[in-house]
Structure 1
């Protein structure tokens, strides 16, 4: 580490992940570390701002915030479990659906004339003529960079059999001597928290391997606003974030290729989707306009770009397609999710919801499409929750209260069955489940207030005698050695996020004249692990029969894969982007009124002051 460098960033550079929800701005207190030993003057005294975020630890020890510590000497630290950045494989459910194999990139093998074949012709001419004949085309295009790459292959000028990778049956993007039958592509869904890579056989329409990983940009904050703020303060960080992401995608892709026994040169097409901020950073576009009114992307059209320009570790001249963006918050991931919906989605009134730090909502009403985005906050990612964490082993994902009042829970298990089964904290679905369970058991009122301490033995009171936390797991049974609790402020965060999403949904429905939904589809990893009865209990979506709330998994990843395997889906995505009408909520007076009405943890709005 450099002298004076902050501990958080130095640790990340060394491959030591420390959680930082706010992106190292000293706002969240999530990067707490224990100082075990330190050379004299290795660390300065904590500032008043840092001291305010340091919790009291009865067992003693010296604790600091990694984002505010400037290191000027040798030290030894311990990272508590709740402060460790998740390194385990994220959960990314996907749907195996049949997709017609009509890829953009195809391979064709043909024989070319010998150099002494009359009339004498340059190698380029002989290749172009042979390729056109094999494809049944009048002519093909052979770009100079492709020919240059081929000319560096030993024996290129004496090869009689050549395999060409051809885009849209006309442009050659790769030449290889001999016969090569593998024709593969990669689809990537880039999320703020994590990403997923699908390695596919383009000819058969099959998934060969799938890998997920944490988005390494998390060192700059767990939400897009934190990352935009960092870039605003130092535009050089745009390149850093881009390189972090591409390098990690390549690492995961190489693993997938090794599993499927595929050479990187046999990966000849790529499709990438993400939210607008992720797509901007991937393309090297400054995302600052996304964070200020009128919240417009730098570029909205889809992008065809050479793999080597993106830095992807596949065939260098292969083409990568990055999805269109509709607005500053409705991106390629939303369009990809829409690609997974069949014709019945456009009949009646159907709602597609992807809940995260931002909640993207799309309404299909009698063939018309409208969308909006709601700032639900990071609570649904387990952030800004006292005992919050990402969805990873040790995270509580479901809570229920038995008839005898006993509080029970279920946590995500370790990959190793013999691993520590004690929980660490609450992930987003666990927070929603805990709040819903508390409401059902009347430990939490519809107004969000915890019941009086005398109501339940695990309700703890503050100095004023009011309940301020509900203990879900007692310290001896938690991996952290401390109680895992649902705090009053956690419930308030859920209320704010729920109210923002529900207000956006109600405005979208009102603008389209919809009074009753036929079905709600929950997209994304978070949506896939929500219990429909939980979200209906607290009113996250409008009331409807529980069987009409359906999880559709990682629809963005499924849509990206569809566009990889079927070239017509890319044109369909472009048409959807043009059809989609975006409703901007900022500045609307009715949003605030609806927001207040829906802060109640109730399926229907109630007067919370009654």
Structure 2
């Protein structure tokens, strides 16, 4: 056995032991050390860089690390094997995905406005913002030698009389509290209950003088990021909001790698623990601390996520999702409770899951469709959720069709040599001077934060600017020369956005022709999916009245630039609307309103799902879209006109 020490830039260390030949990335995963590995250890992304400080590793050379960097001790964890005691430095950039827990400032009007607007929109359709949870007050006669009825029957009788119901259910957690609470309050109490037409379930019991808040939790489980809101179920007030990186990321940036990881011994529990114990439960603790609400006062939870994330969250085998004929274990289920999954809320809390409608179109899209309101408008609208995958819904109040395209991790910075998620140091916006080719950019983080890479919105800006300035051609190849354009020994070109002395990393921040090619394929997947879906209905892009863009990357997207590179259709910019994290907003509405929950199930059941891989014309559309903006420039007249004006 050899001693393995993971050192971090803040001075902390994690020590563990391993056998000769063990893989360093696997050791890090088993030790809960966060090292980014979007390709799940296939040595194709080059993101799992660590620096050797003491000892030796059996680590083969890769194209992702230069000779100079190798001499300085830089290695890829995924290709490094243990041959002795070793100490490695895990740089902040390698663990950036496991960002610090963020609890939103709810004094921000922007934070609240999205949810308030969503409530107003659904109420205008006749959806009532009420749910089945309530607080009721009951009084009982105190027991005596003449009245020896046990406590549970006494409470049951009082509740039946009060609510005029035949059945009352008192779970174990309430039964444990019952004797003390009743006697301390002279048999006058408040009960948190869920009422249905047939029965009443008692979640909790309090003294008459206690302040009772019925808490609810809405969670959006994204492949990359998890977001949540803690709310008052009676008023809809948001008590706290938080977000965090998805702890499963260290097992791969995409759902396929995570499904494969789940099939390994202990994989189901490992993936489930990563999302629940490492991600959701700490978020709950932070939100409860921020709001002053106890976790045991959270009596209901709603989860919106894609089909694979639902399975990994529930600890259910997801392998059939990726294997033909792509049949998941469930599209919808009402059988999950907090105690089943180890979620740190009231043990009897019911977990609502937004319904999936296909193997790759999940509850995040059905919840988002509810928020987009396209189901309540006669105009033809397109709803796009941009994330690790791209999902689309097109339709109006008469019909809706959905599909999903495998855009890959490029929108989250994966498959891009300098790509990263939108954490501190990420370039999120960029312009380039057409004459000097010098860039101007903004960086995520405090003022003065140095750039270390590009996040999705920054990549879109850079590629758009390079094309519109005539620095690259439609194939993404460099056609101009200058101090920021260089070529390696193989002739591959790159554009330097920040030289090493300007950057917060050990190398230049640059985008290469390979990076551009990877991103062109990602944007091509989005546009070809739009075209394929519209063509199947005998529609074209000119018939789109509105485009609603959702997802984390959507907030930072410059819509003009997204059109310039051919990701979105060339239609008037005023038709594009950003609607925030619609998955989380939809989960909030489903949590707050029983009618909204039922409406989401109705939308899912009425939506047509198109499996793009079975459409013969999809690959032709995709190939055509793998140029900037497209092989058929006639589809992008405004883009081509603007480019000519800038030259």
- Normalised to the residue count of structure 1, the TM-score between the two structures is 0.91
What residue number does 1:174 align with? 203
Of residues 479-488 and 136-145 in structure 1, the stretch that sits farther from structure 2 once superposed is 136-145
Match runs of 1:85-124 below 5 Å: 85-89=96-100, 95-97=114-116, 99=119, 101-116=129-144, 120-124=148-152
Partner of 1:460: 486
**Which segment is superposed worse, 155-164 or 253-262?**
155-164
CA RMSD of aligned residues (A): 2.5
Structure 1 pair 117–164 and aligned structure 2 pair: CA distance change class (3 A):
farther
Structure 2 residues without counterparts, runs of 5 or longer: 1-15, 105-109, 120-127, 636-647
| Deviations, residues 154-212 of structure 1 (Å, cap 9, x unaligned) | 76698512222212353324232413421111111111111012010111111000111
Structure 2 CA distance, aligned partners of 1:263 and 1:271?
A: 18
Quick one: distance in 2 between partners of 1:146 and 1:463? 69
Task: Please say if residues 268 and 319 of structure 1, whose CA atoms lie closer than 8 Å, have aligned partners that are also in contact.
Answer: yes
Q: Is the 8 A contact 2:37 2:47 kept in 1?
A: yes
What is the CA–CA distance in structure 2 between the aligned matches of 1:343 and 1:161, rounded to whole Å?
Answer: 49
Of 71, 79, 95, 1:60 maps to 71
| Shift, 1:508, TM fit | 0.8
Q: Which residue of 1 aligns with 2:549?
A: 522
8 Å contact kept, 1:376–1:496: yes
Contact preservation (8 Å) 1:129, 1:139: no
Question: Aligned ranges for residues 149-548 of structure 1 at < 5 Å?
Answer: 149-151=176-178, 159-169=186-196, 170-179=199-208, 180-232=211-263, 234-247=264-277, 248-342=279-373, 346-414=377-445, 416-417=446-447, 421-453=449-481, 456-463=482-489, 466=491, 468-515=493-540, 516-548=543-575
Rounded to whole Å, the distance in 1 between the matches of 2:33 and 2:247 is 11
Q: Tell me if the contact between 1:303 and 1:324 (Cα under 8 Å) persists in the aligned partners.
A: no
Partner of 1:70: 81
1:46 match: 59
State the 1:541 CA deviation.
1.8
Please state whether the residue corresponding to 1:74 is helix, strand or coil: strand
Per the TM alignment, residue 360 of structure 1 is displaced from its structure 2 partner at its CA by: 0.3
Matched, 1:26 2:43: yes
Q: Distance in 2 between matches of 1:207 and 1:603?
A: 44
SS of 1:141's partner is strand
Distance in 1, Cα, partners of 2:428 & 2:75: 29
* C-alpha spacing 1:2/1:176, structure 2 compared with 1 (3 Å): same
On the 8 A contact 1:146/1:172 being kept in 2, the answer is: no
Write the distance in 2 (CA, Å) between the matches of 1:81 and 1:163: 50
Change beyond 3 A, Cα 1:327–1:231: same
Deviation at 1:235, TM superposition (A): 4.6
Query: How many Å separate the matches in 2 of 1:446 and 1:192?
Result: 31
Instruction: Indicate the SS of the match to 2:136.
Output: strand
Q: CA deviation at 1:271?
A: 0.7
CA shift in 2, pair 1:230/1:467, >3 Å: closer
Q: CA deviation at 1:549?
A: 1.1
- In the alignment, structure 1 residue 589 sits paired with structure 2 residue 604: no
Do 1:443 and 1:451's aligned partners in 2 also have CA atoms closer than 8 Å? yes
Q: Give deviations 1:579-598, integer Å, cap 9, x for gaps.
A: 11000111322111111111
The alpha-carbon deviation at position 500 of structure 1 amounts to: 1.6
Compared with structure 1, are the counterparts of its residues 72 and 158 closer, same or farther at alpha carbon in structure 2 (3 Å cutoff)? Answer: farther
Structure 1 position 75, deviation (Å): 2.1
* Pair 120,312 (structure 1): closer, same or farther in 2 beyond 3 Å: same
Structure 2: how far apart are the matches of 1:545 and 1:117? 81
Change (3 A) 1:52 1:397: closer
Query: Aligned in 2, Cα 1:595/1:422: closer, same or farther, shift over 3 Å?
Result: same
User: In the alignment, is the contact (CA less than 8 A) between 1:499 and 1:599 conserved in 2?
Assistant: yes
Partner of 1:489, secondary structure, is: helix
Compared with structure 1, are the counterparts of its residues 317 and 60 closer, same or farther at alpha carbon in structure 2 (3 Å cutoff)? Answer: same
Q: C-alpha displacement at 1:23, in angstroms?
A: 1.6
Describe the shift of the 1:58–1:370 C-alpha distance in structure 2 as closer, same or farther (beyond 3 A): closer
- Contact 2:372 2:383 survives alignment (8 Å): no
Q: Post-superposition shift, 1:425?
A: 0.3
Call closer, same or farther: CA 1:373–1:332 in 2, change over 3 Å.
same
Structure 1 residue 124, shift from structure 2 partner? 2.4
Q: 1:307 to 1:590 in 2, by over 3 A?
A: same
For residues 603 and 204 of structure 1, what CA distance do their matches in structure 2 show? Answer: 49
User: How far 1:258 moved relative to its partner?
Assistant: 1.2
Q: Is the 8 A contact 1:200 1:206 kept in 2?
A: yes
- Contact 2:378–2:397 (CA<8 Å) still a contact in 1? yes
**Which TM-score applies when normalising by structure 2?**
0.86
Whether the 8 Å contact between 2:418 and 2:510 is mirrored in structure 1 is yes
Aligned twin of 2:591: 564
Aligned to 1:129: 157
